[in-house]
Amino acid sequence: MTDDPLDPTTVTCFSCSQTVELATLPPREALVVEGGWRIAHAFNSALPGWLVVLPMRHITSMDELTSEEAEALGSLLRRASRALSAVVGSAKAYVMFLAEAEGFAHLHVHVVPRMEWFTPDQLGPRVFTFLGGPESERVRDDDMDELALRLRAAFAAES
């Protein structure tokens, strides 16, 4: 079955199900929506500011992007990096696309703040140690929403 975000009865993808509910999503799930993309805070992260950039339509590979979507993605990634620097004080942002986890094949690009305080065990691909840990270590919903609003303002200033 192909996911059609306009038809909620066909949605089987987690990311597409959120697109269907876009109007009611909290700030953490729709930090920025533009150019066919949605930026959300990662829901299972212990690192404040771990973002995911998702296309509004169901695709699973970069080669499925239209020229317009690819151009918009490039701009969003640059602006996300700048917003993370301004709001959370990151030294730079890691940008990664894997989409291999069970149930998460929908294309999503991770934009992760690389903080100055990272230990050697948290650098590069080891940054994934911030994902999927115990619930007690994850960024709380209220904190993600507050951060999302601050990041949204930084994005708006970049436009």
**What number is the average pLDDT over the span 108-131?**
96
What are the residue boundaries of the structural domains of the chain, listed by start?
8-158
The C-alpha atoms of residue 74 and residue 141 are separated, in whole angstroms, by 28
Q: What is the pLDDT of residue 13?
A: 54
Q: Taking the model in full, what pTM does it have?
A: 0.85
Give the fold, CATH level 3, of 8-158: HIT family, subunit A (3.30.428)
**What number is the average pLDDT over the span 84-107?**
84
Query: For 36-79, how does the pLDDT look when each residue is reduced to its tens digit (9 = 90+)?
Result: 999 999 999 999 999 999 998 888 888 889 999 999 999 999 99
Identify the band that residue 104 occupies on the pLDDT scale cut at 50, 70 and 90.
Answer: low
Q: What is the pLDDT of residue 21?
A: 66
Query: For 121-136, how does the pLDDT look when each residue is reduced to its tens digit (9 = 90+)?
Result: 999 999 999 999 999 9
